[in-house]
């Protein structure tokens, strides 16, 4: 008996793979991982129990140019599955599942887990139909956000998991926002969503009470620093990449977490980003976009403030001032704890399903 874990990128982009690995290790289950290095062309490499397929298919490439790399990945993936004779599979995200869907349905019915962490090509009816079949024939299907149910079929096989990656000590309290001379709003992570953040920056532009931080590697198409220079905006600070272990120190200097992603597509309106979990862990209110599932969660559980960046600046600033003036740190910590308990309940159920999957193999 041997399990193959199929990723759609390299390990550093799939931290949640450890949920599966830890349980397989503790139960002495033989497994191997298959990753895709999309930035280099080379022969497939195997080191220890990890395969890496090397085929260039960079983000932002023309869709037509992606067809051949995808086909090469699919053929190499199927070759490895045949060679290693895996008895069970864990398919991380829908794209690799769709690429090998015939093999999954023919040879692995109820012997694979489908793990969905984002919205991809579900706008195409043919893609949705394949995903529907993959879910129906999986042992179970994990989703990282209940917002995904808006584009996935109804199924008893769908369960919720969470992208809880940080292992830092949890903050137990929060400082008083009411008496702060300056409020720091931090965007922590890959800097993108240019249009939305330009609007967000304009709301607070040169307002002496607010300072905006952007901390992380920026996408090539998101030159917010250049935008601020061109518009003579002085209260925005840009810092480069950081290591995950730097997060506690970064968040200690921040009062609000900027989680503005807009609401233009299902990719952003249905997901629950890592910043949600950072907010709960480090006890920082989250700023979310109106019309998103994240906004619904933040509003329902009292985890921050939900805004429409297209509304007049005066209205948004008044909303922030009101939130800050009425802020109750003790109650906010309580709200974070309540939502954390919900997350842990769902996470325990997810891990229980992995163990049940493992028990069938033994």
pLDDT at position 61, please? 74
**Residues of the chain below pLDDT 70:** 60, 165-169, 362
Closest listed residue to residue 199, CA positions, set 312, 296, 318: 312
Specify the pLDDT at position 176: 80
pLDDT at 175: 76
CB 294 within 8 A of CB 325: no
Q: Look up residue 47 and give its DSSP letter.
A: E
Q: What share of the chain is helix, strand, coil (3-state, %, to 5)?
A: 45, 20, 40
Helices (H), the chain: 17-26, 63-84, 94-99, 101-107, 125-136, 194-204, 224-230, 247-252, 266-269, 274-282, 293-301, 313-325, 329-361
Q: Could you tell me the strand order of the sheet in which 304-307 lies?
A: 236-239, 210-215, 183-188, 256-259, 286-289, 304-307
| DSSP β-bridge partners for residue 54 | 37
- Biggest CA-to-CA distance, the chain: 65
Exposed/middle/buried for residue 41 (C-beta within 10 Å: 0-12, 13-18, 19+): exposed
């Amino acid at each position: 008996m041997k399990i193959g874990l199929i990723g759609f990128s390299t390990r550093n982009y799939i931290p949640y793979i450890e949920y599966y690995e830890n349980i397989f290790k503790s139960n002495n289950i033989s497994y191997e991982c298959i990753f895709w290095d999309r930035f280099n062309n080379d022969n497939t490499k195997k080191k220890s129990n990890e395969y890496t397929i090397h085929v260039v298919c960079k983000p932002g490439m023309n869709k037509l140019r992606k067809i051949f790399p995808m086909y090469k990945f699919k053929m190499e993936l199927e070759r490895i599955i045949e060679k290693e004779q895996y008895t069970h599979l864990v398919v991380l995200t829908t794209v690799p599942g769709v690429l090998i869907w015939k093999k999954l349905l023919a040879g692995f019915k109820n012997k694979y887990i489908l793990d969905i962490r984002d919205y991809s090509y579900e706008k195409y009816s043919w893609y949705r139909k394949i995903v529907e079949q993959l879910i129906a024939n999986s042992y179970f299907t994990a989703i990282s956000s209940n917002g995904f149910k808006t584009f996935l079929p109804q199924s008893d096989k769908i369960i919720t998991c969470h992208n809880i990656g940080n292992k830092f000590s949890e903050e137990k309290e929060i400082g008083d926002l009411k008496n702060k001379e300056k409020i720091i709003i931090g965007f922590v992570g890959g800097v993108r969503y240019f249009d939305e953040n330009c609007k967000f920056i304009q709301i607070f532009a040169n307002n002496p009470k607010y300072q905006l931080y952007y901390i992380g590697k920026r996408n090539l198409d998101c030159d917010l620093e250049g935008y601020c220079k061109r518009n003579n905006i002085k209260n925005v600070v840009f810092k480069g990449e950081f290591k995950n272990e730097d997060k506690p120190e970064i968040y200690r200097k921040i009062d609000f977490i900027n989680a503005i992603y807009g609401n233009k597509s299902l990719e952003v309106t249905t997901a629950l980003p890592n910043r949600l979990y950072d907010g709960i862990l480090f006890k920082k209110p989250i700023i979310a976009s109106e019309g998103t599932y994240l906004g619904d969660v933040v509003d329902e559980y009292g985890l921050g403030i939900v805004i429409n960046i297209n509304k007049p600046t005066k209205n948004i600033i008044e909303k922030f001032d009101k939130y800050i003036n009425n802020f109750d740190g003790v109650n906010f910590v309580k709200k974070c704890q309540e939502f954390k308990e919900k997350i842990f309940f769902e996470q325990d159920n997810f891990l229980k399903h992995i163990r049940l999957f493992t028990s069938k193999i033994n």
